[in-house]
Chains A and B, each alone.
Chain A
Amino acid sequence: MNKILQIIDLKKNFGAITASNNINFCLETGEIHALIGPNGAGKSTLIKQIMGEMKQDSGEIILSGINISNLTTEDRIHLGFARSFQITDVISDFTIFQNVLLAKIGKEKKFYNFYSSIDSGELTYEEIKTILLKIDLWDEREKPASLLSHGERRQLEIGIALALNPKLILLDEPMAGLSLDKIEKMKLIFNQIKDDVPILLIEHNMDVVFSIADRISVLVNGKIIASGTSSEIKSNSDVKEAYLGTA
């Protein structure tokens, strides 16, 4: 297996508070790697550093062998990152199609094109169709995102990430607020994707995590306290103590 993403000794302090305390982990091809931890454990801070929205104090982030520690978000996107947001963040005035198209335009650096019409279909129409079919939103492609249900927005988030043609996808609580059948649907989508694109999954729903994650890392107080398969994590006493409660 190939290491797609490597995090090495990542540190970040906010004043006296340590948000990332020597974090080390990696994401490999073909896997879903779940990152779990209680609220305030430093997951959001970690994601922001991985995405380049926040600068780490020290440590390195390596993408397929390239050190990207000091690159901007845009550059990281162009090198192969994609993410979904915890609170769905699609552009609500755009249609589903336009939301995905925007990602395509961004990825393919077509945003300095002033003359082609986005309505004419000449722009990567087929590729977008493939993506929308994959996330099951093709029939509703002309619907404005503001009219989508919560679950459909989650699906669209995945679609946008896929449109970036990424080397890996970072999913921040993709299941939050979804109904059980929607969750099942999402699981299917993830399992379909992961062979092409490995997934770094941040998720609270333990059922989901335990059923689809190939590996799980547990973050507590800015530190990774355990890493392993579902069964390893389930039986780890440190994890039980810190995260699952001593119930």
Chain B
Amino acid sequence: MISEKNISYISLISLLLIAIFAEYFNEPYLITLLSRIIIFSIAAIGLNLVLGFGNLISFGHAAFFGLGGYISGILAIHAFNSELLISWPFLFSGSNNSLIIWLFTILFCSLLALLLGALCLRTSGVYFIMITLAFAQMLYYFAISWPSYGGEDGFSIYVRSTLFGINTMQGLNFFLICFFWLLIILFTINKVVKSPFGLALRATRFNLTRVKSVGINPFKIQLIAFVLSGAITGIAGSLYVDLNRFVSPSLLSWQMSGEFIVFILIGGLGRIYGPLIGAAFFVTFEQFFGSYTEHWQIFLGIIIISTVLFAKGGIIGFILEYRKNE
């Protein structure tokens, strides 16, 4: 019997199994791809919290992805070069320790989300889409023209950050770290969505007057969700930079924001595991279709359009529907 729950278990176990197989057959690139799937899905899971459950269409989540990436990259490169990052109130020359990097990422991405959320949530509808896009673009242009950290070129960080002495340059180890993060975040989101807070958040997507009339301030609910969402997407950015050992402004590009939305849609809107399935589909599609034709994006475009127009439930919705009819 296939239920949404089973689909999610199967997909998690398959990820793990494929990674172990890949390690056994010495296919490190496959592990890199799997790590990328997980990282993209974490980013989209973050976005899904506000978009899928709160109906806040943020077209600027690349801002958090990029900020997470830049924070990690900057901490790492300073540690690598032993250069001072700040000299006041205490001396700090970055860090190569994953825990510290993640802590900073969560802290700064939450702050950015709090700031952007407080501004953007004043608007709604189309204006919300546009203003989130615009703020992300602003950061993008800032990153491009900011000479200290490579500007348009970005910069390399050469080695991954370390965690409890694990050799993170080894593909499978790094994959497992990402996988562990995925589990934590899925667990968190699952818990949050089914909590009273989650119920209030889901209510805001339908009817603000009703939410207010039962004594809930929707702005606060949305803002908290936005902060949580930004922090999660930021973690994904941090992991992505570690995976590639490279930071560039393209992390902040609007195409990135668009792709996160596409992951959510393809997987299944408003489903906790939707982004994971969507990201897996996207990366696999890109790799395999991409090896047949360089014009794979034509087909991706057609798939997205058909999904929106005819199969709003995405892949998970399709499977569930298919099973039901059988």
Contact = CB atoms under 8 A, between A and B. Distances in A.
Q: Do A and B come from one complex?
A: yes
B214 A118 contact: no
A107 B212 CA distance: 11
B133 to A, nearest CB: 27
Nearest to B192: A114
Contacts of A77: 212-215
Interface string B186-227: 000001101111111011001101111111110001001000
A116 B200 contact: no
A133 B216 CA distance: 25
Given A74-B217, A107-B214, A117-B194, A91 B200 contact: no
Which bracket fits the contact residues of A?
Answer: 35 or more
Interface in A69-110: 72-74, 77-78, 82-83, 85, 89-94, 98, 101-103, 105-107, 109-110
Contacts of A116: 195-196
Which bracket fits the contact residues of B?
Answer: 20 to 34
B257 to A, nearest CB: 26
A102 B199 CA distance: 7
Q: Chain A: interface secondary structure?
A: loop
Given A89-B209, A91-B207, A92-B206, A118 B196 contact: yes
A123 to B, nearest CB: 7
B195 A113 contact: yes
Interface string A130-161: 00000000000000000000000000000010
B196 A105 contact: yes
B213 A105 contact: no
Contact of B194 (A82, A83, A107, A119): A119
B214 A160 contact: yes
Nearest to A93: B206
B203 A94 contact: yes
B188 to A, nearest CB: 9
A90 B210 contact: yes
B196 A113 contact: yes
Contact of B213 (A83, A110, A113): A83
B232 to A, nearest CB: 13
A70 B199 CA distance: 29
A50 to B, nearest CB: 12
27 contacts: A51-B213, A53-B212, A72-B217, A74-B212, A74-B216, A74-B217, A77-B212, A85-B210, A89-B209, A89-B213, A93-B206, A94-B203, A102-B200, A106-B216, A107-B214, A107-B215, A109-B215, A110-B196, A111-B196, A111-B221, A112-B197, A112-B224, A113-B195, A113-B196, A114-B191, A114-B192, A116-B195
Given A89-B210, A164-B215, 13 more contacts: A72-B217, A73-B213, A77-B214, A77-B215, A85-B213, A102-B216, A105-B216, A106-B211, A107-B215, A111-B216, A114-B195, A116-B196, A164-B214
